[in-house]
Amino acid sequence: MTQFSAWNVIKNGFNGQKGWSRQWRDPEPKANYDIVIVGGGLHGLATAYYLAKNFHLKNIAVVEKGWIGGGNAGRNTTIIRSNYMLKGNREFYEASLTLWENLSHELNYNVMFSQRAHIGLYHTPNALDAAARRYNIMRQTGSDGEIWSRNTIKKKIPHLNFADDARFPIHGALVQKRAGTARHDAVAWGYARAADMLGVDIIQQCEVTSIKRSAQKISSLHTSRGEITANKVAFAVAGNTSRLWQMAELGNLPIESHKLQAFVTEPIKPLLDHVVVFGVAGAHFYISQSDKGGMVFGGDIDWYKSYAQKGNLPIVQDVAECALSLMPCLGRVKLLRHWSGVVDMSMDGSFFMCKTPLDNLYLNAGWNYGGFEASPASGWYFADLIANDRPDKVIQNHDLDRFRRGVHIDERGAGSDPKLHG
């Protein structure tokens, strides 16, 4: 595999770009693997990479029903932050942000990680108290966070709506400067290429259609490209987790599959240097500008359960209203595209990374609004769980049993209703 380097870029500039090799192989599935990861999204690919890199395991496959990065991996609004405060989440997302900071070098692939700062607006003086608590916890635990006054925001982001009668009056913001965005497809391709270089088979167009099991173990996976047996099986299928869970005859999960939409406008000149976010009184909105110039934004999930990767118009209206209330100048920009992904909303809004009732099955699920920023740490800790057959202490409460123990990792304090965890 050709490494990306300044020297190779210059050399290929002179030889008509003929010196680049394939980014990853396209192998036929083998009949048996030590580990099969179902789902070629960011979490599946990152897990395969860290299994091979950190634990020197070789006989691993990632099976993907479509193409890698075709699920939520390539559909998200690419926001990366670590402003979580609850035990477990705090350490996990901070570890993820730290991995992001070196990811392009680690993978020898430019994931275009841009630490452009995450600006969480607040719209009442009281909101500052709650938010300051979160940011103080972050600072006390080695992360970064600061408060910007209304005047500071006005200087830095003059296009926001500072009118006295604004629907969402801006009182200030909580800022994480190390946060930002990355190019989502590049992350999937970077992990795939790096995992492939370490011997992982990445098998696309290979859907798991049924699962054979005994009382305690999965014995084989029936796929659209033949039967595959594996010593260990890992699910990392995001919004399809409940489907795979039922194929394994494991009953129900504390997860609901919901649609989340994203939007992009036509490209415009540089307008917004940061990621700007707010969530207040039922409204939820986040916006940034892509490197191509499009304004990328989104809001809440579609409020009803579905596996369709297609959004509905009420949310389009809702999000457009938020966009215009916050940045009235966007009223003259054309919306280019909108799309949807299927996110797996858990009862407390936090993820699952755990062993399961079956001895050789491992679960990685429950990712919703923050699943993109989580992907490096998700791969890291999930690989550790699979390789060592026990959870690291950081993820030990992210198991399916936590609700029975009374452990709710509820960052929002919204209660046991999946759709409220935005």
Ligand X SMILES: Cc1cc2nc3c(=O)[nH]c(=O)nc-3n(C[C@H](O)[C@H](O)[C@H](O)COP(=O)(O)OP(=O)(O)OC[C@H]3O[C@@H](n4cnc5c(N)ncnc54)[C@H](O)[C@@H]3O)c2cc1C
Under the rule (CB under 6 A), what is the footprint of ligand X? 38-44, 63-66, 70-73, 75-79, 207-208, 236-238, 240, 244, 260-262, 298, 341, 343, 367-373
Rounded least distance, CB 247 to ligand X, Å: 8
* 264: its two tokens: 């992009």
Q: How far is the CB of 208 from ligand X (least distance, A)?
A: 4
Question: CA 406: distance to chain centroid?
Answer: 26
Question: Which of residues 151 and 210 has its CB atom nearest to ligand X in the complex?
Answer: 210
Is residue 119 classed as helix, strand or coil in its secondary structure?
strand
Enter the tokens of residue 249: 């005859």
Contact by Cβ (8 Å): 81, 179: yes
The residue with its CB nearest to ligand X is 371
Report how far Cα 132 is from the mean position of its chain's Cα atoms. 25
DSSP track, 156-212: H-TTS---TT-SS---EEEEETT-EE--HHHHHHHHHHHHHHTT-EEE-S--EEEEE
**Cβ neighbours for 152, distance < 8 A, ≥ 6 positions apart:** none
What is the closest distance, in whole angstroms, from the C-beta atom of residue 125 to ligand X in the complex?
28
- Pick between residue 2 and residue 224 the one whose CB is nearest to ligand X: 224
**Closest CB to ligand X among 25 and 243?**
243
How far is residue 189 CA from its own chain's centroid?
15
Closer Cβ to ligand X, 65 or 402, answer by number = 65
Please report how close the Cβ of residue 45 comes to ligand X at its closest, in angstroms. Answer: 8
Q: Which H helix or E strand runs over 12?
A: helix 6-14
* Residue 209 CB, nearest approach to ligand X (Å): 7
**Looking at this protein, which amino acid is placed at residue 275?**
V
What is the closest distance, in whole angstroms, from the C-beta atom of residue 163 to ligand X in the complex?
Answer: 28
- The least distance separating ligand X from the CB of residue 244, rounded to whole angstroms, comes to 6
H or E stretch covering 149: strand 146-149
* Minimum separation from the CB atom of position 233 to ligand X (A): 11
158 versus 251: smaller Cβ distance to ligand X: 251
Q: Provide the token pair at 245.
A: 């869970």
Secondary structure (DSSP) of 205-236: S--EEEEEE-SSSEEEEEETTEEEEEEEEEE-
Whose Cβ is closer to ligand X: residue 152's or residue 306's? 306
Q: Which is nearer to ligand X, 48 or 63 (CB)?
A: 63
As a residue count, the chain comes to: 422
Q: Specify the residue, 29 or 145, whose C-beta has the smaller distance to ligand X.
A: 29
Instruction: Provide the minimum distance between the beta carbon of 93 and ligand X in the complex, in angstroms, as a whole number.
Output: 9
CA 106/CA 158 separation, integer angstroms: 37
- Return the H-helix or E-strand segment holding 49: helix 42-55
Q: Would you say 6 or 313 has its CB closer to ligand X? A: 313
